[in-house]
Amino acid sequence: MNDILVIVLNGASQATILFLIASGMSLVFGVMGVLNFAHGAFYMLGAYFAARMLENVDAGAVTFLAVCVAAAVGVAVLGLIVDALIFRRLYGREALAGLLATFGLLFLLQGAATKIFGSLPLAVSMPKAFGGSWTIGTAILPHYNIVLYLACIGVAALLYYLFSRSRFGRVVSAVARDPEMAAAVGIEVRLVRSAVIFIGAGLAGLAGALYSPVISVNTGLAVDVVVESFAIVVVAGLGVVWGTFPVALVFGFINAALLQYVPQFETYTFYVVMALVLVFRPQGLFGSKAAIINA
């Protein structure tokens, strides 16, 4: 029983970060067809923005959460600038063009962060209210993990509402499926795409800010989680935003179970599962074949 609890806690811990990053990456690909490798840089910048705003501040819980939102908005605005300068020129292009351009953008943003924030690692103090932990049996649940779980559930619910229940979701879906036809019926395609970039980049920025108290904030963050998040996006199905939630959870739990019982195999989980899915279901677990053809 204790083992199961450890696996659940560990799995959830891994799933939260993967979901927050993969969901934004999947969203941008689904709507714009741009596989954004610079998404990790948005995550990095969210952490840097939070670190800079909280520098020499003994932040309470409310201040910290407000800073996280502000950092997310800051990164989202940066996403709009990147959209205007780069992404707009990639719409409708083959995936390789997007990969190359965003790969270059990743290095550019890393270099800029080094110049602006320095290359020494920064640290963000954990707000005292979030600092403790509960012990359940021999398993330990840090209080702050509850904040992360709630943030993930909140984001998942918001994305579900936005893209499955709101008019905005239908408009986005129309633009994703056929931008010319969407424009023909009066939808401001450019505006919709900008909104999607804003949300996608903002999610990555939120992830970076939320994780800043438990990581060393440095430019290496830009590449640390990109590959694993990309694996989540691929396994869920390129562009299937909602699919990243269950897939991140399943990945997290599989990883945690392996870590508990056969830790020597834990490192390879992501890549083995991704390879198997690509072989037997190349469109991803929740994707359609049409999406692969269009990609």
Partner 1 sequence: MYGARCSASSLPTACWFRSAQKQQPQEATWPVAPYPTEKWAGKTVSKSFKNIRRLAVGTGLAAVLVGVTACGSGGSSEAGGSDNSDIHVGFWHVLSGAAASYGQQTLNGVQLAIDEINADGGAGGHKIVLKTADDTGTAQGAIQAVHNLAGSDFLLGGSTSDSCTGVAPVVGQDGTPTIIIGCGTNELDTTLKQPNMIHFPPTNYGYASALGAGVAKAVPGIKTWDIFGPDVLSSHQQSSETLAQYSQSVGSDVATGQTDFFDASATNYQPYIQSFLQKVPSGTNSDRGLYVATYGGGTVTLSEQQAPFNFFKRYGVVANVGDYDNAAWAQKGSAAEFWNSYDYYYASYDNAENKTFVDSYQKKYGDVPSAWAYQGYSVVKIMAAAVEASKSLSHADLISALHSGLSVALPTGTATIDNDLNQVLAPVTVWHSVGDPSAPQGVKLLDTQVVPPDEINYTGE
By the criterion CB under 8 A, which residues form the site for partner 1?
2, 6, 9-11, 13-14, 17, 56, 85-86, 89-90, 93, 97, 100-101, 104-105, 107-108, 110-111, 114-115, 118-123, 125-126, 131-133, 138-140, 142-145, 213-216, 218-221, 224-225, 255-256, 259-260, 263, 266-267
Closer to partner 1 at the Cβ: 13 or 283? 13
State the Cα–Cα distance between residues 122 and 139, nearest whole angstrom.
29
Shortest gap between Cβ of 171 and partner 1 (angstroms)?
A: 27
DSSP letter string, 73-91: HHHHHHHHHHHHHTGGGGT
Shortest gap between Cβ of 241 and partner 1 (angstroms)?
A: 22
Shortest gap between Cβ of 256 and partner 1 (angstroms)?
A: 6
Closer to partner 1 at the Cβ: 130 or 163? 130
Calculated CA dihedral for residues 238, 210, 165, 230, nearest 10 degrees: 0
CA quadruple 116, 118, 119, 121: dihedral sign: negative
DSSP-assigned beta bridge partners for residue 136: 139
State the Cα–Cα distance between residues 131 and 140, nearest whole angstrom.
13
Closer to partner 1 at the Cβ: 101 or 172? 101
Closer to partner 1 at the Cβ: 171 or 256? 256
Residue 163 burial (CB count, 10 A): 21
How far, in Å, are 45, 150, 151, 165, 201 from residue 158 at the CA level? 23, 12, 10, 10, 15
Closer to partner 1 at the Cβ: 186 or 263? 263
Closer to partner 1 at the Cβ: 26 or 219? 219
Shortest gap between Cβ of 279 and partner 1 (angstroms)?
A: 24
State the Cα–Cα distance between residues 82 and 73, nearest whole angstrom.
14
Shortest gap between Cβ of 278 and partner 1 (angstroms)?
A: 21
Shortest gap between Cβ of 289 and partner 1 (angstroms)?
A: 27
